[in-house]
Structure 1
Amino acid sequence: MPRRCICLTLAALAAATGAMAQTPSAAPAAPADRLAAGVDLATFQTRHRTRLMRADADGDGRIARSEWTDWWAARPEKGPADPAARFRAIDADGDGFLTAQEIDATFGKRFERLDADHDGRFTAAERPCRTK
């Protein structure tokens, strides 16, 4: 299965590369090309922090458990399988609030796991295959 995933990823990248060769150089990079080039730790953390901090309904700079629950209840198809467990995993100090620092720490650890070659960039080649 991993070999099949790698082949499919390489085929997708080859198709994207061929399509990019036909577009003018002034066009912005396609999302596939940005992932092929990789994403660094700071960008990875910023993207996840920005997305999750949208749950901060009262704007106090931290996400309360109730804000988290309400946020994911409104987005059942996009959230974690178990939002309460995810909250507990991110809430490192167990105070019932998620801060930007806790989110960054959690996604810093995830980045370390995903950056298989430890070059400081997470690339499409390192992306795990998702099977259902």
Structure 2
Amino acid sequence: MTTRIKALALAAALGTAVIVPSLAIAHGDGPKDGKRAEYMEMRFQQMDADKDGKITAAEIESFHAARFAAADANGDGKLSLEEMDAARAEQRQERFGRMIAKLDKDGDGQLSAEEMPMRGERMMKLDTDGDGAVSLEEMKAAKGHHGPKH
């Protein structure tokens, strides 16, 4: 393959790796619990380089190229499993940092059990027969959901 074809294949793979998750978010397969709109707005703001309220193909391409370059720690134009894992770890750190900032009521930079959202109440909303317990069948019926929608 020529260098140009390799570059185009890499760009296509990168675009797919980043755009497909964005489309999934837009269609309801991304962050749950009402966070989808917040996440989409954050991602949009990151891509809107000239801050005109619109994102062009060039802005999207630039955004994804920058993300790829940032993940390509050794600069070889390829992402290894280790580089992809490190990039994902950074994303988790950012996400957890936002979570702590939002939920940390006492401002100590950590989450206590009391500051963590209670999941039991949400899970109990899966109890469709009202018997006070969630059966495997009720969980399966809610398949594809990370809890009931409010």
- Normalising by the residue count of structure 1, what TM-score does the alignment of the two structures yield? 0.44
Higher relative contact order (CA 8 A, sep 6+): 1
Question: Greater strand share, 1 or 2?
Answer: 1
- Normalising by the residue count of structure 2, what TM-score does the alignment of the two structures yield? 0.40
